[in-house]
Each structure stands twice: as structure tokens, then as C-alpha cells.
Amino acid sequence: MNNPDHKMIVVSAPSGAGKTTIVKHLLHTFPQLGFSVSATSRRMREGEKEGREYYYISSNEFRLMIDLGKLLEWQEVYPDKFYGTQVSEVERITKNGQFPVFDVDVVGGLNIKKMYGDQALTIFIRPPSYEILESRLRSRATDSEESLQKRLNKVRWELSFEKDFDQVIINDILEDSFRKADTLVKNFLGIQS
């Protein structure tokens, strides 16, 4: 597991902070990176595709994968809503000669860091303020009010983990966030400009 060729980038944030946008930018910018598609037991949203955003599996299948040790990390984010990273995803990306990039929740990101130590660069994406984040989540219009309130309660808790990450990007002006993320990845992987 401690192979210097197995460096990885972990991007975590509360919902709506912009981690997925930043991860997509990094993947577009650096062909050396491969996206680790997470597994989830939540329902597929409109516009999503199996194997692109997530691998969609039932809660029972997810529990079986946990029992069989087929997950690198996992989290029951909400009751019966699991998210996790399959060991096979990391193997697929490294066999391709790429560095894995994870778009994971805060606890998942810290769990990967715990397993891989200095081989993992953890980046926390923080919104400029809680109010801006709430506005972003509301504008998505993908959640009921009850579900939205659960997310917002979780956001406050997740923000308390910022200090445990290697780097923090305050996602206020997107282009500035892209530039900072590019610099962090180049420096970590030793990519020449």
C-alpha cells in the first residue's frame, strides 16, 4: 500500500461547496488523474448515469460489500443512505497508470488519509459562508425541505473538520479556486508546468 506511485488526491466538502466542480476541472486539466467513481445506495437523480457519477446499488448490496471488505472507505451519510469507495476503483485507476482523485464526503476523505498518510493529499473545499452554501443548496431544488434541513445540519458539523485536511480552498471566486487546486496538485504530484 505504501508505494510512492500510488499518490492520490482527495477532495472533500460539505454538500454544495463546489467539490464536484473543482474535481471535474482537475480531471479536465490533468490527464494523469483518474476519477474514482463512488458507490451509493441513494437513488439516481435526473441527468446522472450509472458508472459516471456513481455506482447505484441497494442498501442490502452495500451492506454485503462492507461485510466482504470490498470498500476502501464507506459512510452511512443519512439513515440507509450509504456512500463509499470500492477497492476495485483504486485498482482500476492505478492499473491505468493514473493517480486516483476522490470526490468524497468529509469523513470518507479523512478515512482515506488515515489509510494512506502522506500518499494522499486531502483538500477541503469551504464555502465563503454558511449563508452562501444554504443559498446554493436551495437553488439546486433537488431536495425536499426536510431533506434540505438535514443537509444543512450536517454542513455545520462537517465544517468543523476543516482543520484536519492538508489544504483548504475557500470557494468564493471559482477561477481562483481552480488556480489554487491546480497548484496544489502540480506540487503534490511533481508535475512540471
Whether 36 is covered by a domain: the verdict is: yes
CATH number at residue 165: 3.40.50.300
Whether 193 is covered by a domain: the verdict is: no
Q: How far apart are CA 83 and CA 105, in angstroms?
A: 8
Whether 146 is covered by a domain: the verdict is: yes
Q: Per-residue confidence of the chain (193 residues) as pLDDT tens digits?
A: 444 458 999 999 987 788 999 999 999 999 999 999 999 999 998 899 999 889 999 999 999 999 999 998 998 877 888 999 999 999 999 999 999 999 998 988 999 999 999 999 999 999 888 887 778 777 776 667 887 787 788 888 999 999 999 999 999 999 999 999 999 999 999 998 6
Neighbours of 137 (CB within 10 A): 21
Whether 103 is covered by a domain: the verdict is: yes
The pTM assigned to this predicted structure is 0.86
Number of structural domains the chain divides into: 1
Whether 150 is covered by a domain: the verdict is: yes
